Structure 1
C-alpha cells in the first residue's frame, strides 16, 4: 500500500497548496504558483478572496459554536493549516468541541497531524479522504471515534465545492453527507462565482480555472446554482451572500466588494 507521501505530484497544481500560496504561505510548489498566478492574472483580487473566505470560515464556526451550540464539526477540504483553524475557533468558545478534518492532499495530511492539536477537553482527528467518497468518510473509524453522528454536527464545506464538476454530482455528495447527520446539524459552505464579474473577466477566470487538470478546475457557479446546495435547509441570517458580508459587522472597514471577492457563503440548519 502506498504511503500518502508517495502520492505527491509536484508537477500538478493542487487547490490546498495554491490557496496556501495566495495566503502568503510557503507550502507550495512551482506548479501551484504558476496556476495561482494564471488565475490572479485573470482575477487580480484572488488573494483578497482567499483571505475573506478564511475569515468567513472563522465567523461561521464562531456562530455555530457560540449561537447554535454545535460541539462537533466535520471539516472537509481542510487545506494546509494556518491561524485560527476550525478546532481552534470552536475550542476557544467551547473547549470540549470535537473536530474531524478531511483532505485528499498528503502534504495537508502531514501538516495536519503535526499542527492540528486539540484542547485537553476536546478532540481532533484527520482523515486522508476525498469529498467524492462520502460513505468512506462517514464510516471511517477515526471519525466514529471522534464524533457522534446521532448528535448535531457542523458540516464545513468551505471553498471546496467549486472543485467538484457537475459530472461528479456535487449536490448529490452534499445530500449524502447531510442525510447521515441528524436534525439540528448545520451546513456552512462557500463557493466561487462569476456573477459579479464583467463577462470578459468571467470568461478569463473560467479559462484559467480549467487549467492544470482535475486539481486546477474551478467551477464558477451562479447564485441559483449555489443555492441548490442549501435546498431543504433553514438559512441563518443574512442568507446566501458574499463571504465578505456574511456577519461581518465586526470586520475592518471598508469591506471588499462582492466583485472583488466573487465568493458566496451561507450557513444553514437541517430541520
Structure 2
C-alpha cells in the first residue's frame, strides 16, 4: 500500500485543491459530539494581542472563514499553502469576509519571509505531511518574533482507531497513518527549537449515524480503490450494527444505529 501521507508527488495530487480534504472534514463537522466546533476552538487559543499572523498549510482557510467576524481589526493575516489550488480555494472561501488577507504559495521549510516577521504562526494538521520537518520547524521559529507563538494542531495515535479497524478488515492491511508529528511525538520535535512547548487537548468524539459518511471519508484517500466502495459500505453497515448500545451505560438502545469513533486532537503552543 502506497504511503501517500509523506510523498510530495502524492500530496500534490491529493491536495491539488480542497475536494478531498473537504470530504474528510465533512465527517468531523457533521458528527462531532463537541459543544464547540474545532475551528472555533482553534481560534480561541490564539492570543488576541498578536498583530502579524501567518498561517502555513492554510488549506481552504476554513479557520479564518468560520471566525471571520472574530478576527481583530488590528490583525494582519498572511495565508500560505504549498498548493496553489488550495490558495485559490482559500481566496474564494474568504471572498465574503470583510477583512484583508495576504495570500501566497509557499514551502513551509523555505518560507519567503524575513526573520522576526510574525507574532503568531498557525500550522494546523499539516506538519505530519512535511518531509523535511526539522527544517520546517526551524523556519517557523525563524519567522516568529522573540515573544511570538506557534500554534500547531495535530492528532494523537489513537485518533479514529475504530474507523481504521474497519478499513483494515476490508483492505487486508492497515491504511497508512499520519504518525510523523503526533500529540505523542510532536512535543519533542518542537523542543529542538522552542523553549516552552505546551499542549491543549480538544475533547470530542464522533457519533456517526450514516454509513455513507465514513465510506466517503475512505474514498477520499489516495490508497483506497474506488472499486471497493460496495465492500466498504457493507463493512461499515455491519460495524454500525455491532456498535449498537456499546456506549449506552443504562443498557438500553439509545445508541442504536450509531457508530462511535474515538477522536484524539490537540494543539501545541510553542514559544521561546
Range of TM-score over shorter length? 0.5 to 0.7
User: What secondary structure does 1:20 align onto?
Assistant: helix
Match for residue 156 of structure 2 among 185, 193, 214: 193
Q: Which runs of 5+ in 2 are unaligned?
A: 1-9, 205-260
Distance 1:223 1:73 in 2: 23
Could you tell me how far 1:134 is from its partner in structure 2? Answer: 2.2
Q: Which runs of 5+ in 1 are unaligned?
A: 1-8, 25-44, 140-148, 211-217, 246-258
Q: Is residue 86 of structure 2 the alignment partner of residue 111 of structure 1?
A: no
**Cross-structure match for 2:44:** 62
Is 1:162–1:219's contact at 8 Å kept on the other side of the alignment?
yes
User: What secondary structure does 2:67 align onto?
Assistant: helix
Distance 2:89 2:44 in 1: 23
Is 1:154–1:188's contact at 8 Å kept on the other side of the alignment?
yes
Normalized per residue, the structure richer in strand is 2
TM-score, normalised by the number of residues in structure 1: 0.57
Could you tell me how far 1:155 is from its partner in structure 2? Answer: 0.8
Could you tell me how far 1:96 is from its partner in structure 2? Answer: 1.9
Distance 2:182 2:11 in 1: 32
Match for residue 177 of structure 1 among 129, 140, 156: 140
RMSD: 4.2
**Cross-structure match for 1:153:** 119
Distance 2:185 2:11 in 1: 32
Q: Is residue 90 of structure 2 the alignment partner of residue 128 of structure 1?
A: no
**Cross-structure match for 1:242:** 201
**Cross-structure match for 2:267:** 265
Is 2:53–2:119's contact at 8 Å kept on the other side of the alignment?
yes
TM-score, normalised by the number of residues in structure 2: 0.57
Structure label with greater radius of gyration: 2
User: What secondary structure does 1:130 align onto?
Assistant: coil
**Cross-structure match for 1:36:** none
Change (3 A) 1:115 1:14: closer
Is 2:150–2:269's contact at 8 Å kept on the other side of the alignment?
yes
Is 1:101–1:126's contact at 8 Å kept on the other side of the alignment?
yes
Alignment of 1:219-230 (within 5 A): 219=179, 221-230=181-190
Is 1:75–1:101's contact at 8 Å kept on the other side of the alignment?
yes
User: What secondary structure does 2:79 align onto?
Assistant: strand
Does 1 or 2 have the higher relative contact order (CA < 8 Å, sep 6+)?
2
Could you tell me how far 1:158 is from its partner in structure 2? Answer: 0.3
- Aligned residue pairs, count: 200
Is 1:23–1:51's contact at 8 Å kept on the other side of the alignment?
no
Distance 1:180 1:107 in 2: 24
